[in-house]
Structure 1
Amino acid sequence: MRRFAEAEDLSAVVRDALGAGCRIVGVDRLRGGSKKGAYRVRLDGGQRASVIVYSWANEENFWPGAAEDDLTDPFAPASGLVPFLAAQHTLAEVGARVPRLLLADDTKQRYPADLAVVEDIPGGTLEALFETDPARAEAALDELARTLDLMRHHHAPRYGRVDLLERGGIALGSSCEQLILDRARRDLEEAAGRDTRINAVRGQLDDRLQELRALVAPRAEYGLIHGELGPDHVLIDAEGQPVLIDIEGLMYFDTEWEHVFLRLRFAERYPALSRPGLDPRRLDLYGLAMHLSLVAGPLRLLDGDYPDRDFMHGIAEHNLRQALTLLP
């Protein structure tokens, strides 16, 4: 049985973040996290009505057999206070809006896990705003496009997670495209072992991946990407500005990888985010690889006790069908 944080567990860290006058009146664990816990802590007696507390306790990680992250692999599970803080200050320096950090604690003295306290953004997600106020959501989408432009043009000569590169590390692999191919072939093998439809065309999918990889020319400059930027990972602040969350996977990489995910998650709204100059051959390779990743990953997560099982199964099923349509 997993034990999640309660009010008494978080009282010390919230008091130190906001002052002794703040009193916790309620704690709600937010839906959707699979690697960390996110808690809305409702307050009385201070200037803020609520804050968000992130917890990287082992109990919050639903990935079966999760091991220590390999920082050299850009696609290793991105979780922890260190990558969070590296992403937080990098995005802020670039000019991308992120929740303001109020306190970070890795001492384990206030709570037996790394924690961060950040501002609670009042406007909800961009995904929800499209349902309740489409005009305001469209304006926020335009602002998000400008944020992505800032990130795209923030270049580095090497690819890899920002926390790795800050330490002078070197990322796994010889190139982004080769890394994606190798990862896609592993995802294909895993998915084929879990679904007969993928297994039946495993050879064809593998051939297609290698054909697409052969068409991609080398590159030696990389932009800043979020990696999993859907409308549920964008909050809207009181001024209508987009605020990026779930940022631990921030990396320098091919911008095309970001855009195949944006295209998938924003669907008919993606044209507002699309930009000229993207490499169509990379988009083709990365599109197929992304679908295979979103089959293998959710099916792997379902081996454990992740609670929102229908939702995760739906992701796998949708992407399985999409991958099959990309066969010649």
Structure 2
Amino acid sequence: MSVERLRGGTKKGVYRLGLADGTSGIAYVWHPDEDFWPDAPVDPDSPFQHTTGLELFRQAHDRLSAVGVRAPRVLLREAGGPLGDVAVVEDVRGGTLEELTARDPQRAEGVLAKLGTAVRDMHAHTADPKPHEPLEKLERLEDVVLRQALTNLTASADRVDRLDAVRDRLADRLRTRHADVAPRSRFGLVHGELGPDHVLVDAERDEPVLIDIEGAVFFDVEWEHAFLELRFGPHYRHFANPDLDPARLRLYRLATYLSLVAGPLRLLDGDFPHRAGMLDIVEQNVGRTLAQLGSR
């Protein structure tokens, strides 16, 4: 048997297991030693918690399976073992959608179209808020997003001079956009961090397979769309939805950009090894944040 650590993942270890019969599987390992994120204060009312762990993985896998959206098939789950919590899943060998798009754009178009259908199926699967589940509390989600965005603004402006120079204007922009958002009572199933690097490709069927699913939750679908348009760029047309709430989307765009400044900066306070990539994410999203001052 062979064990190969795979790159990626900031909250869990990901390993390819090669077996004597020539088959392979992927092991997810949740253990403090595999988590690069420094400790942070916990807001019990926030949906933006440290979404990691075997139980969240199980819940997310069940939710996605219920709407026919594919994640790697689970072969084994074990909680509380000597290595921590472990899940072994199928090894989807087609690489990521990000890699396929760079290598074979024409073939990637078919996978993107299927992914667009999967995302629409997820978002159409709605639920009422359930007060016994912190991620789905009766508190208006846009209120929680505003509170977290202001926290991220403070953390980012304290460390980035360009944001510090306009922190009051950004805070006002967040509050103005929040005031434009009307209440909502039903939410769609979202992945939470759906970029082309979090989609594997089944090479035999050219099917998308979602990974890093622990953050899947019922939430405003505009939150997902703010991330989708950022990460998929010109390919966002596969996900575009004319029924989105423009006011909610404006608020969530700015909140997303601030989270992608504050989050990577916090990660870099620890010993995360791939620092250049995180610094690039910070720089890109500082620019996106500042550009929001030029729009309503």
Q: Quick check: TM above 0.5?
A: yes
Q: Given the alignment, which residue of 248, 267, 292 partners 2:233?
A: 267
Deviations 1:267-324 (A, max 9, x none): 1111121111001111110000100000000011111110000000000110001100
Please tell me whether the aligned partners of residues 135 and 217 of structure 2 are also in contact (alpha carbons under 8 angstroms): no
Residue aligned with 1:263, SS: helix
Please tell me whether the aligned partners of residues 224 and 253 of structure 1 are also in contact (alpha carbons under 8 angstroms): yes
1:92 aligns with 2:65: yes
- Residue 144 of structure 2 corresponds to 179
- Residue 77 of structure 2 corresponds to 104
Kindly state the Cα deviation for residue 66 of structure 1 after the two structures are TM-superposed: 5.2
Residue aligned with 1:104, SS: strand
Matches of 2:146 and 2:80 in 1, distance apart? 39
Please tell me whether the aligned partners of residues 54 and 86 of structure 2 are also in contact (alpha carbons under 8 angstroms): yes
Kindly state the Cα deviation for residue 170 of structure 1 after the two structures are TM-superposed: 6.7
Unaligned runs of 5+ in 1: 1-23
Matched ranges for 1:54-69 at <5 A: 54-65=28-39
Matched ranges for 1:138-217 at <5 A: 138-158=109-129, 165=133, 171-172=136-137, 174-217=139-182
- Residue 51 of structure 1 corresponds to 25
Please tell me whether the aligned partners of residues 4 and 16 of structure 2 are also in contact (alpha carbons under 8 angstroms): yes
Residue aligned with 2:99, SS: helix
Deviations 1:113-154 (A, max 9, x none): 000000000111000001222122100000001101110110
- Residue 17 of structure 2 corresponds to 41
Counterparts in 2 of 1:27 and 1:170: CA distance versus 1, 3 Å: closer
Counterparts in 2 of 1:294 and 1:173: CA distance versus 1, 3 Å: farther
Kindly state the Cα deviation for residue 97 of structure 1 after the two structures are TM-superposed: 0.5
Please tell me whether the aligned partners of residues 72 and 171 of structure 1 are also in contact (alpha carbons under 8 angstroms): no
Please tell me whether the aligned partners of residues 81 and 114 of structure 1 are also in contact (alpha carbons under 8 angstroms): yes
Give TM-score, length-normalised by structure 1.
Answer: 0.86
Could you tell which deviates more after superposition, 69-78 or 301-310? Answer: 69-78
Matches of 1:71 and 1:153 in 2, distance apart? 27
Matches of 2:179 and 2:140 in 1, distance apart? 13
RMSD: 1.7
Q: Given the alignment, which residue of 218, 224, 229 partners 2:194?
A: 229
Give TM-score, length-normalised by structure 2.
Answer: 0.95
Matches of 1:30 and 1:276 in 2, distance apart? 38
Counterparts in 2 of 1:287 and 1:83: CA distance versus 1, 3 Å: same
Q: How many residue pairs end up in the alignment?
A: 293
Deviating above 2 A after TM superposition, structure 1's stretches of 4 or more consecutive aligned residues are: 69-73, 169-173
Kindly state the Cα deviation for residue 53 of structure 1 after the two structures are TM-superposed: 0.1
Residue aligned with 2:186, SS: coil
Kindly state the Cα deviation for residue 176 of structure 1 after the two structures are TM-superposed: 1.2
Residue aligned with 1:285, SS: helix
